[in-house]
Amino acid sequence: MKHARLPSLLCASLLTVILAASCSSTHDTADVIPSTRGAVQPDGGGELIDEASACSGLVKAESDARIRLGCDAVKRECPTAIRPAGGPDCYSYDQGSLDGCVALYQSFTSCAQFDQEPCLLRAVSRCDTVDSGAGGAGGQTAQAGAGGGAGETSTSTEPGAGGANNAGAGGG
């Protein structure tokens, strides 16, 4: 009988040692380093504005703040500065988001903040009215034109060639 209790006693002893070791009074002496803020995308809620207006407004706000702080010139180029990565030219931008970026840039106190906290505008896609062509960047939905019927599109069989708009081409 004494041997049957031996595994239970060993298990209980092992757990006691583990628990005692985990309740030590040593503290971590390493400094706690909080994460940095990172990119900012202000809330929207404003009217939608076109890409050229949004981009020029953002670049002007950044340029003004850089001049005020004595920083290097603006590194952004329109429209790639605001357009979603690799996106086509079919976005509108939120004025409220632009206003938030302007306020953010006005609050900067050092040049490093431009790289540490880039401001991103809220983009609203208008791309859903575009049909995709065969194998890649596509054709446009056709509109009725002189001699053409609405909705006529042509797609190529070549990969990546996309479709061509036949509206007004005399099709029937």
Mean pLDDT in residue range 99-113: 96
Residues in the chain: 172
Within a domain: 150:
no
Within a domain: 92:
yes
Residue 17: per-residue pLDDT: 62
Query: Distance between CA 54 and CA 122 in Å, rounded?
Result: 10
Query: Distance between CA 76 and CA 59 in Å, rounded?
Result: 7
Among the ranges given (6-20, 87-101, 112-126), the one the predictor scored with the smallest mean pLDDT: 6-20
Within a domain: 133:
no
Query: Containing domain of residue 66, as a range?
Result: 48-127
pTM: 0.55
Q: Which residue has the higher pLDDT, 7 or 79?
A: 79
Which letter does DSSP use for residue 127 in this model? G
Bond into 79 cis (ω within 30): yes
Domain count, the chain: 1
Within a domain: 117:
yes
Within a domain: 11:
no
Within a domain: 104:
yes
Within a domain: 23:
no
pLDDT band at residue 20 using 50, 70 and 90 as cut-offs: low
Within a domain: 99:
yes
